[in-house]
């Protein structure tokens, strides 16, 4: 669970009730932004 908490902190601490799918979409979007910058 530490990994999930770390992602929450990085992405602006989404609400605890956020679904796994929503978190996954947020991670995918974040990865796309990082890839565009790199």
Mean pLDDT of the chain: 67
Specify the pLDDT at position 18: 63
Q: What is the pLDDT of residue 14?
A: 58
Q: Name residues of the chain where pLDDT drops below 50.
A: 1
DSSP state for residue 23 in the 8-state scheme:
H
pLDDT score for 20: 73
Residues 2, 11: contact at Cβ < 8 Å? no
**Predicted local distance difference test score (pLDDT) of residue 32:** 78
């Amino acid at each position: 669970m530490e990994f999930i908490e770390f992602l929450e902190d990085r992405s602006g601490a989404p609400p605890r009730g956020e679904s796994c799918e929503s978190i996954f979409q947020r991670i995918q979007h974040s990865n796309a932004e990082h890839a565009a910058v790199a």
